[in-house]
Structure 1
């Protein structure tokens, strides 16, 4: 089979198409014939050597995959060859075939395409977990979503609305992305390149602040998060796209009953994989019922993974980017 491999940490030129043997499923695993794989920012960070718990080169990147069951390992009774599935693979998804544990594999509803299934898995489950299990969003609360026109952002806006948020605010870095965030559920959209988003949030909430913040940026933005976080508010820190960590003094938390909470999809997949199934089933049901839209801004042939990474790194993309494996 062919696989797109990170041959060394570095730029997009380290992504090379390599011939590899088709993997054999072990006990409790299935082999998936790949139809589509999602491109996530964590793939870029893994390629650069900046992703926590990242593999050492050479490795196949990719966090989520959609395709058909090609073979099953010993003890597998819940999936059969030919079945349409979406999964968090064991060894990357940028390849013609990949393996996945049964516990991290899910049947695709008939009304969901391979493209939508691949595009939605990581971003929708991450968003759902952040809003339900991490921050415990309550009906009527105000929510701030950073990178609101991106893959997680466009989904998190919709899910916040679905879960009963009273006001949903999104931040973007370009004027042309404001309409995208609006179209996916933001009541207020702030372009942080025009000034302090914290000041704009306070103005939009009559100086109350927001109750929940989803932060994948950290760095300097984290301090501004604290400036517009209401009493009893919660920040979910789940990334550092800025390349820098954020810092908080404990004195900024206890007197106001505010919290900073961490989340990692990778750690959850490794250590609490069974806990993800309820969230996966919830978002798949929403998508199957047309209650959750997954915008796909671009699709690239499998061999053009480097172009897909460049497009994502350009910060001009919106929604999701896919790699397609149409020849298998």
Structure 2
């Protein structure tokens, strides 16, 4: 089969298409003929070996696939053969075939576009957890969504609107991305990257100004650096910020326990793998898919690339030239 293989760690240039042996499903796995595989910002860290889980070479990246089941392992459900699924995988998604755990696979409708399913299973479920599990956003609260035109952000803005956030403040880096965030339901859209040039205080002032001169209740943060710093400073008493990425590759400030006590703020982190270890993927996906069917949520697909164009997809993602979900199509 054709797959994208990483044989040395580095940037987009290390993503090389090759012919490799077909994978075999493990005992509880399904073998899927891939229609589309998702590209995530975390994949750019994976190819550098700078992400949370250490990587081993050679590596086929890719954490999510959509496709049709062609074989089931001995302990997997054989009745799933022939069904379409969307699945999360530890690795191996950038390929024509992928062995996926049945435990992280969800059967999907025949008419659901593969790219849309990719947009929901990792980034959509992440957005769900950021608002429901991590920050426990309540109706009427203000919510800041950084990188609002990205894969997680486009879903988070829509979920915050459906769950009756009081004011949604979206951050995006270009005019087109800000227009997209507004179209998805944001009340105010700002360019936090421009404010970052003025340091943490400028980011804080921008967010508070966007919230009618009031500190904010909830922040979804994945940038780092002074975006993290300023977002923390903009939090109201009892405000919560959750960190789910480090796109700038710059760490933010250290937060002292006494400062958390004095301000009654909460700062947390989120990695989907930890949530998956606790189970619950299928009910969340069922909720998201039902919202799609009802017209309450839409997947934003920002680019479709051939499998052999994985390097170009990574380059576009790192340069912030894309919006929404990027997918590779074998």
TM-score, normalised via structure 2 length:
0.93
Tell me the equivalent position of 1:96. 96
Tell me the equivalent position of 1:114. 114
Tell me the equivalent position of 2:288. 283
Per-residue deviation at 1:4? Answer: 0.5
Distance 1:186 1:79, change over 3 A: farther
Tell me the equivalent position of 1:260. 267
In structure 2, C-alpha distance between the alignment counterparts of 1:208 and 1:78, rounded to whole Å: 56
Per-residue deviation at 1:79? Answer: 4.5
Is the 2:203–2:226 Cα contact (8 Å) retained in structure 1? Answer: no
Tell me the equivalent position of 2:307. 302
In structure 1, C-alpha distance between the alignment counterparts of 2:210 and 2:52, rounded to whole Å: 35
Gaps of 5+ in 1: none
Q: Using the TM superposition, name which of 190-199 and 154-163 deviates more.
A: 190-199
Tell me the equivalent position of 1:69. 69
Tell me the equivalent position of 1:140. 140
Per-residue deviation at 1:47? Answer: 0.8
Q: CA RMSD in A?
A: 1.5
In structure 1, C-alpha distance between the alignment counterparts of 2:78 and 2:180, rounded to whole Å: 39
1:62-111: CA deviation from partner (whole Å, max 9, x where unpaired): 11110000100112227521101000024320001111111100011344
Tell me the equivalent position of 2:185. 185
Is the 2:137–2:218 Cα contact (8 Å) retained in structure 1? Answer: yes
Secondary structure of the corresponding residue to residue 68 of structure 2? strand
Tell me the equivalent position of 2:298. 293
Whether 1:230 and 2:200 are equivalent positions in the alignment is no
Is the 1:109–1:288 Cα contact (8 Å) retained in structure 2? Answer: no
Tell me the equivalent position of 2:199. none
Is the 1:69–1:79 Cα contact (8 Å) retained in structure 2? Answer: no
Is the 1:112–1:288 Cα contact (8 Å) retained in structure 2? Answer: no
Tell me the equivalent position of 2:35. 35
In structure 2, C-alpha distance between the alignment counterparts of 1:112 and 1:176, rounded to whole Å: 26
Secondary structure of the corresponding residue to residue 159 of structure 2? helix
Whether 1:160 and 2:164 are equivalent positions in the alignment is no
Q: Using the TM superposition, name which of 192-201 and 217-226 deviates more.
A: 192-201
In structure 1, C-alpha distance between the alignment counterparts of 2:145 and 2:79, rounded to whole Å: 37
Distance 1:74 1:242, change over 3 A: same
In structure 1, C-alpha distance between the alignment counterparts of 2:166 and 2:78, rounded to whole Å: 40
Distance 1:213 1:125, change over 3 A: same
Tell me the equivalent position of 1:243. 249
In structure 2, C-alpha distance between the alignment counterparts of 1:124 and 1:312, rounded to whole Å: 18
Per-residue deviation at 1:268? Answer: 3.0
In structure 1, C-alpha distance between the alignment counterparts of 2:92 and 2:291, rounded to whole Å: 26
